[in-house]
Amino acid sequence: MNLDPATIHGVPRPTLPPIDERTVPHMLLRQARQRLDAPLLPMGEVHWTRADAARATARSGAALREAGVARSDLVASMCPNRIEALEVFLGYCWIGAVSVPINNPSKRVQIQYYLENFQARLLVIDAQFISVLAQIHFGRTAVRGIWVVPDPHGKRPGDLSPATIALEPYPHDAGQVQQEDVRPSDTLAVLYTSGTTGPATGVVRTHGHYVLSGAYSAQMLCIVESDVLSTTLPLFHINALNTFAQASIVGCRAVFHEKFSASGFWASAREHAGTVVYLLGAMVTMLLAQPATAAQRAHLVRVGLGGGVPVSAAHSFLTRTGVDLVDGYALTEVMVIISNPPGLRGLGSLRWLRPGFQARVANELEGEVEPGTAGELLRRADEPFAFSNGCFGLPAAMAAAWRNLWFHTGDRVVHEADSSFRFIDRMKDAIRRRGENISSYEVEQALLSHPGVSQVAAFAAPSEIAEDEAMVAVVAQPGSRLNFEDLAAHCARELPYFAVPRYVDLVDDLPRTENGKVQKFKLRGAGVTPGTWKRPGEARRNAAAEP
C-alpha cells in the first residue's frame, strides 16, 4: 500500500536541478553566477560569499592536484569544524577525487583500519590530532603525504615518530584549477558508519545523492533564501555536510559552530540570527536539562531537525522554546524519505513517506505484509542516484542490501492504515548513542584485547536521556579476576569516548545458537539488572561537551 502523501498532506515535490547538474561543482557555480556577493557562511575569522566558496574550492582543488591527487583518488581528512574542513571536502569534489572524513574521536585502532581499508593517498589532519598517528603503521597504507592544519592557538604538532612520512603545512596559497567534468554518478565521499557483523563499513555516496539529499532536506524543513541554518554538528558527519548543501542549493546562509554547548546554544543561535537548527535526541534532552529562562525564547529559530527525539521531549521542547522539531527516518545510505510535518508526532511514529520515494514493509520472504503488521522496511527512489552506491569494497553487501530492486534497511516497522509508518526496533546489530553509530564489533575487539577477557558481546541498552547506551556482557579468562574500572579505562584507550560501554555484566557464558552465534536478543532482553556495573558519572556528562 503506497498512498501518495502529496494528495493527503499537500506536500509538493521539491524543485530539482537537471540531472546533469546534480554535482558539487555545478551547485557551487550556479550560486556564484546567480548571487555573486551574497553571503554564504561565517566560520571563525573567515566569511564566504557565494563567489568566495567557488574560489576557495578551486584553490583547494589546485593544491590537491599539485600534491598528486588525481580523479577518483581517495583522500582522508580528520578535522573539526573549521573552514579547512569544508575547503578540502569541496576541493576533492571539484577535481573528482573522493572524500573520506574520519570521525575526530577515533583512536589508533579505528584510524589504522580506515587507512588500510580505503587506501587514501593523502591525509589532511588538524594539528591537535597528530599524536594519534604516532603508532599508525603507514607501511600498510597508501598514504604518501600528510597535510597539517595549524592549531588556531599556535601549538606546534608533536613528532610523528616512528612514521617516515613528512608533515607538510596545509597549503593556503595555491592557485586555482578548472573543475573536472564530474558526473552525478561519480563517487563524492565514503562515509564510515556502524559495523554490524564486522568492522565499520564505508558507505559510497555520489554527487547526485549529495545534491538530491540537500534539495529534499531543504524542502522538508521549508527552507527559503532568508533563512540562516545553524548547526553544531561535526563536518565529518553527513548531517552537517548536508546542511552546507541545503544552503548552497536554496541560496541562504549557514553557520557551523565549533561544538555543541547546552548552556550557550540559544545565545549562539541568537548571535547569528539562526532560524533553522539541527539537533539529535541527546542534545534536546541536554537543552531541556538547563534551567528554564527567557533566553530560551529570545531567538529567531522557527524549526529544528530533531532526529531521534522522544515524543515527550519534543513536546516539552516546543512548549519551552517555541521551536517545533521535524523528525525523519534516514540512514547514511539513504536520505530522509519518511518524516513528520511540523506539529504532527506520535509515539514511535516515523510518519509519512515523502513524494519521490517508495516504501513497503515485507516479511522474511520479501512479501508485503498487511497494514498493522511488523516487517522490514524496504525503500527505493523515483530519481536516479538518490541512494548510495553500496559499501566500499564490499560488493556482496551491496547485493544483499539491494535484493529484488529494493533497498533493505534492516529496521522493523509497521505500516499503519492511515499510510503512516511506525518504528518498532532495529534488526541490525548496531548501537546508536547520542547521534553516533557504534560498531558492536569494534567494542568487542577492544575488550578482547584485554588479557583478562575471554568472550564478550556488545549490544544496545536503553539510555536515560535518548537513543541507546552501549552495554557489554563479558566472560573472564579462567583464573582471571576482572576489575570493572580497569576494563573501562582499557576501553577508553582503545575506543572513541562515545563507544566506551556504559554498562558491564560479568557472566559465566554467552547465550549461543546451535552453530555458535551469540543470541544478543537474549542479552538485550535481560538488559540492565541489579548486578550490572554502571560506569559512574556518565549521566551527568558536561553539558558543554559534544553529544
Which structural domains are found in the chain, ordered by start? 24-182 (3.40.50.980), 206-426 (3.40.50.12780), 432-540 (3.30.300.30)
C-alpha grid cell, residue 164:
617516515
Nearest 5°: the CA angle 119, 332, 437 is 85
**Rounded to 5 degrees, what are φ and ψ at 380?**
-160, 170
Question: pLDDT tens digits for 29-64?
Answer: 999 998 889 999 999 889 999 999 999 999 999 999
Amino acid at 381: A
Mean pLDDT for the chain?
A: 86
Cβ–Cβ < 8 Å for 302, 276: yes
Which of 456-465, 471-480, 527-536 has the lowest average pLDDT? 456-465
pLDDT at 545: 38
pLDDT digits (tens, 9 = 90+) for 150-208: 877 666 655 554 456 888 999 988 889 999 999 999 999 999 875 444 567 889 999 99
What residues contact 394, with CB distance under 8 A and at least 6 apart?
201
More confident residue, 11 or 214: 214
Asked if residue 472 lies in contact with residue 503, where contact means CB atoms within 8 angstroms, the answer is yes
Q: What is the model's pLDDT at position 343? A: 61
Enumerate residues 6+ apart whose C-beta is below 8 A from 491.
443, 446, 447, 499, 500, 501
**Number of residues assigned to the chain:** 547
Q: Do 415 and 421 contact (CB within 8 A), yes or no?
A: yes
User: What does DSSP assign to residue 518?
Assistant: B
Reply yes or no on whether the pLDDT at 6 is more than 70: no
**What are the distances in angstroms from CA 471 to CA 213, 458, 511, 523, 528?**
33, 6, 15, 9, 8
In the prediction, which pLDDT does 153 show? 66
Number of CB atoms found within 10 A of residue 453's CB: 20
CB neighbours of residue 430 within 10 Å: 21
pLDDT score for 193: 76
Q: Average pLDDT, stretch 16-29?
A: 94
Reading the block at residue 305, the C-alpha cell is 531537525
Q: Given the DSSP bridges, would you call strands 74-78 and 122-126 parallel, antiparallel or unpaired?
A: parallel
CB 191 within 8 A of CB 209: no
What are the two backbone dihedrals, phi and then psi, of residue 524, each rounded to the nearest 5 degrees? -65, -40
Name 231's Cβ contacts closer than 8 Å, sequence gap at least 6.
Answer: 239, 240, 243, 254, 255, 256, 257, 277, 278
What phi, psi does 139 have (nearest 5°)? -65, -20
pLDDT on residue 269 = 94
* pLDDT bucket at 312, cuts 50 / 70 / 90: confident
* Of 279, 283, 297, 302, nearest in space to 221 by CA: 302
Measured CA to CA, the distance from residue 68 to residue 71 in angstroms comes to 10
Q: Enumerate residues 6+ apart whose C-beta is below 8 A from 188.
A: 24, 92, 93, 98, 99, 205, 206, 207, 209, 210
14-19, Cβ contacts within 8 angstroms, sequence gap of 24 or more: 14/215, 14/216, 14/218, 14/219, 14/356, 15/215, 16/212, 16/215, 16/383, 17/211, 17/215, 17/249, 19/184, 19/208, 19/384
- Cα 172–chain centre separation: 28
479-538 pLDDT, tens per residue? 889 999 999 999 999 999 999 999 999 999 998 765 556 888 889 888 899 999 999 865
Residue 540: per-residue pLDDT: 41
The predicted structure's pLDDT at residue 425: 65
Q: Which residues contact 547 (CB under 8 A, 6 or more apart)?
A: 260, 280, 282, 283, 286, 434, 435
Q: How high is the pLDDT of residue 197? A: 46
Tell me whether residue 275 is exposed, middle or buried, using C-beta atoms within 10 angstroms of its C-beta: 0 to 12, 13 to 18, 19 or more.
Answer: buried
Mean pLDDT of 386-402: 85
Residue type at 89 in one-letter notation: F
Sequence-distant (≥ 6) Cβ neighbours of residue 373 within 8 angstroms: 361, 414
pLDDT in tens, 259-300: 999 999 999 999 999 999 999 877 888 899 899 999 899 999
What pLDDT is recorded for position 441? 77
Tell me how far apart the alpha carbons of residues 177 and 121 are, in angstroms, rounded to a whole number: 20
Residue 50 makes CB contacts below 8 A (sequence gap 6+) with 28, 31, 32, 34, 35, 36, 37, 38, 40, 251
With a cut of 70, say whether residue 421 has pLDDT above it. Answer: yes
The pLDDT value given to residue 231: 97
Percent of the chain past pLDDT 70, that is, above it, reads 88
pLDDT bin (cut points 50, 70, 90) of residue 240 is very high
Residue 333 pLDDT? 85
From 318, 292, 316, select the one nearest 303 (Cα to Cα). 318
Say whether pLDDT at 372 is over 50. yes
**Which of 395, 403, 334, 411 minimizes the C-alpha distance to 365?**
403
pLDDT for 4 = 42
Tell me, what's the pLDDT at 436? 80
